[in-house]
Amino acid sequence: MDSNIWTALITSITVLGSAQAFRYYERRAVHKERDEDFIRHDCKDRIAKLEALLEDAKDEKEEMRSLILKLTAEVAELRTKVEFLTTENVKLTKVSK
């Protein structure tokens, strides 16, 4: 009879322990899934922000490229004017002497 009591006691402890273990692993799996979801959403948010920044940088680059082309054209125009004025100045200096 003592053997039956010990067997019943060990069996009940094992059942209770395995139920607690099952709950522990179940909670652990839920927390792990929540963490993965959080990381996934965080990565999506970061990717969206980086894409927006990349798009802004692309637009700014295009604006700068246009500005550089405009300024290059103005410099070329000013060079031509300076050359013309320099030659005119030399002519006028020769004529006035």
Q: What is the pLDDT of residues 8-64, one digit of tens each?
A: 777 777 877 777 778 888 888 889 899 888 999 999 999 999 999 999 999 999 999
DSSP state, 49? H
Residue 27: count of CB within 10 angstroms of its CB:
10
Q: What is the DSSP letter of 4?
A: H
In this prediction, residue 20 carries a pLDDT of 78
Distance CA 39, CA 46 (A): 10
Question: What letter represents residue 39's amino acid?
Answer: I
Read off the pTM: 0.53
- Give me the pLDDT at residue 60, please: 97
